[in-house]
Chains A and B, each alone.
Chain A
Amino acid sequence: MDLSLTPEEQAFREEVRAFFRDNVPAGIKKKLSENRHTTKEDMVEWTRILHKKGWAVPHWPKEYGGTDWTAVQQYIFNEEMQATPAPPPLPFGVNMVGPVIYTFANEAQKKHYLPRIANLTDWWCQGFSEPGSGSDLASLKTKAERKGDKYIVNGQKTWTTLAQHADWIFCLVRTDPAAKKQQGISFLLIDMKSKGITVRPIVTIDGGREVNEVFFDDVEVPAENLVGEENKGWDYAKFLLGNERTNIARVGMSKERLRRLRELAGSTQAGGRPIIEDPKFREKLAAVEVELKALELTQMRVVANEGKNGKGKPDPASSVLKIKGSEIQQTLTELMLEVAGPFASPYDIHGDDNTNETMDWIAQIAPTYFNYRKVSIYGGSNEIQRNIISKAVLGL
């Protein structure tokens, strides 16, 4: 048992750290530190920088533009990226649909889509959830009827993150209404410019516009946009949802937020002294630090064990990562709100535009606190995570 990195891994960390330090555009870094959203242009600019370096899709197989990094290198890369902070690549392309395409799609699809994901030529969004299908995703109703060489798609998707920027959407659609619910679903790639698609924003409690409703009204989709086999979409969706296990802990990001929290607590006065000198606050800070340290260790255990449980069999401890990672992220936003105190109140939109960039960054604290309630809801709510633990790990 040993916590230390090998000399090669240490050198790799230095290389990655220096790259992020020197290459993240200052404006983007500032936005992330202050919890503002990045714009589409920011994301394209940053993805191109990563792509030029060959690091836009490091976890993909080498033949599709990835690297042959080990699980530990991958972990170091993600941690350093979050700690800088640098924007994580747009997950809908590189972490979600990309791996589905290189694993299940045909050669023509791989050749067409993968390079365009890697350099963000195409902005992807995810068409899974529906108004009536949240945690019970397989109950989805959006249907695709085969007519000649086309599918005709009708229905509605929701919680579609950044659909307003998207060129493409990958959708789960029902192609066999007679089959048992998981079995009649297909995985379809749809051009957002298609006739009959309407995107309507959903304004969240922080005032931001991250998520949307997407309506499909007799949308014609070429049959060649089907991934893999018809009615096998649920398998691909399960693969997709099971792919991102370790990154979900967001340890690096929480470390960066903690640094920011300490800074703010050191410069904000309460009762004639900086808040950070208040013993009660310090103990709260220490408590979340202990939680974060434990999570970091748990994540390292999962990373170090990757592949040792057999392919596709995650370490049982990996189910801890989503629950604790989201709780810690939320606690940190809560402590930030506590530090900001009465100055958190003036309203500022937690938006993805640049209009409030001149505002004091304290203005983002309350919206971020509100916004971060999402992290225990998305990606399989924490209650669903507990279902997974009780069934898959404890055998209940």
Chain B
Amino acid sequence: MDFDLSEEQRLLKDSVDGLLNDSYDFEQRKKYGAEKAGWSKAIWGKLAEQGLLGLPFAEADGGFGAGAVETMIVMQAFGRALVLEPYLPTVVIAGGFLRHGGSAAQKATHIPGIIDGSKTFAFAQLEKNSRYDLNDVATTARKKGDGWVIDGEKFVVLNGEAADTLVVTARTKGGQTERDGIGVFLVPRDAKGVTVKGYPTQDGMRAADITFTGVEVGADAALGDPAGGLPLIERVVDEARTALCAEAVGAMDESLKITVEYIKTRKQFGVPIGSFQALQHRAADMFVFTEQARSMAMLATMASDFNDAKERAASVAAAKVQVGKSLKFVGQQSIQLHGGIGMTMEASIGHYFKRLSIIESSFGDTDYHLRRASEAGGII
């Protein structure tokens, strides 16, 4: 039983924190967000330089062979600084698909570009009616010769405009919600028949709705079993949820810190408002919620080593439930304790609230995961 970071992990944490302290304050973030991609190529390059983009990949593939704890460290730090760069879709999600399901040739083609920072990815999964159900896929991939033809619409694809390659879920057979018959395809964003409509998101990033109209790709586009891809998708999405839990903990830590600092300095009735017990107890509850979320983010992280797949999935669902409840409380109360200033675009606290709120509905909200945990037959 050990919750400490190893020496190497501590060094990693210091290096990520150092990078973000130097080059990712709130004002700098605004500039990065205003770039065409919605994030900074220069920062992405620095992440590559520090080896962060290669962390989870095997040494044989040019990476560092790091585990879930390292991803947690990075995502927590990103949460504290509200990092905009597409680490989640590129390294965690596309990286996860390649690591767990990619052929040797697919790894060799795609992983080096991720590690050196020259290529980014996006995960085209959400559909109009699928909501959080990963098995609900209407987009189709029809066999044509050796290759495939993809048709369908995907929504709110994070980094969808800037990505070089889209990871697309598509049905190769069966009805819309059947577990069987789902495949994962690697599609160049500039392939013929791909239409990308980009837009800013509420939390300051960029996403896109993407239409696939008769998009032809080769046999090598199919990642893993084209008809039995759902377990792989579920595994990778659980890793994404785990990473989001860590990011949320980082954002909650920072929200609490900013809020406590604010109520220590803001004066009304001649005293700092932090001297009022009503506000102190609210802040104490924010701390309790944050610590409970931290515990569950750690559980989800460590669950990646659990042998029992059901226990692993239930742990991630439980973590998303706790994090969802916590981020809602911490996010909303951060604004409340700031009062009017918390309502302004100018203050950073609102941006934390917005990112936290979007995390809640990413890859399943609290109710969704509560149902999932309940259907798994319990957590304890």
Mark A residues whose CB is within 8 Å of B: 1-5, 9, 72, 255, 258, 262, 279, 282-283, 285-287, 289-295, 297-298, 300-301, 303-305, 316-317, 320, 323-324, 383, 385-387, 389-391, 393-396
Contacts and interface: CB of A to CB of B under 8 A. Distances in A.
B302 A2 contact: yes
B286 to A, nearest CB: 9
Contacts of A305: 3
A72 B318 CA distance: 24
Interface string B234-271: 00000000000000000000001000100110000000
B277 A387 contact: yes
Between B2, B4, B69, B275, the greatest number of chain A beta carbons within 10 A of the residue's beta carbon is seen for B2
Interface of B: 1-5, 69, 256, 260, 263-264, 274-275, 277, 279-281, 283-285, 287-288, 291-296, 298-299, 301-302, 318, 321-322, 370-371, 373-374, 378-380
A255 B380 contact: yes
A290 B288 contact: no
A2 B280 CA distance: 34
B4 A1 contact: yes
Contacts of A298: 291-292, 295
A304 B2 contact: yes
A156 B292 CA distance: 40
Given A283-B374, A293-B318, A386 B380 contact: no
A1 B318 contact: no
B265 to A, nearest CB: 12
Contacts, number: 136
5 contacts: A287-B321, A287-B370, A292-B379, A294-B293, A391-B280
B380 A289 contact: yes
Nearest to A308: B4
A385 B287 CA distance: 12
Given A297-B296, A396-B279, 13 more contacts: A262-B378, A279-B371, A290-B370, A290-B373, A291-B322, A301-B3, A305-B3, A317-B291, A387-B280, A387-B284, A389-B284, A390-B280, A391-B280
A293 B263 CA distance: 32
A324 B378 contact: no
Contacts of A320: 287-288, 291-292
A336 to B, nearest CB: 16
**Chain A at the B interface: mostly helix, strand, loop or mixed?**
helix
Given A298-B295, A301-B3, A289 B280 contact: no
Contacts of A282: 374
Contacts of B275: 396
Contacts of B279: 396
Given A1-B301, A4-B1, A285 B374 contact: yes
B379 A1 contact: no
Contact of A286 (B260, B281, B370): B370
A202 B349 CA distance: 50
Contacts of A5: 1
A278 to B, nearest CB: 11
B296 A3 contact: no
B281 A386 contact: yes
B302 A294 contact: no
A323 B283 contact: no
A199 to B, nearest CB: 36
B292 A324 contact: yes
A319 B22 CA distance: 34
A389 B1 CA distance: 26
Nearest to B2: A2
Contacts of A317: 291, 294-295
Nearest to A282: B374
Nearest to B371: A283
Contacts of A258: 380
Contacts of B291: 298, 316-317, 320
A1 B2 CA distance: 5
Contact of A295 (B263, B284, B287, B292): B292
Nearest to A75: B1
Contacts of A303: 1
Contacts of B285: 386
A289 B378 contact: yes
A5 B275 CA distance: 43
A304 B322 CA distance: 22
Contacts of A9: 1
B292 A2 contact: no
Contact of A304 (B3, B287, B293, B296): B3
Contact of B378 (A285, A385, A394, A396): A285
B19 to A, nearest CB: 22
A389 B260 contact: no
B302 A3 contact: yes
Nearest to A327: B288
Nearest to B376: A286
Contact of B374 (A286, A304, A383, A386): A286
B260 A395 contact: yes
Contact of A396 (B280, B294, B374): B280
Contacts of B379: 286, 289-290, 292-293
A122 to B, nearest CB: 36
A396 B283 contact: yes
Given A290-B318, A297-B296, A297-B298, A393 B287 contact: yes
A287 B287 CA distance: 20
A2 B1 contact: yes
A295 B296 CA distance: 9
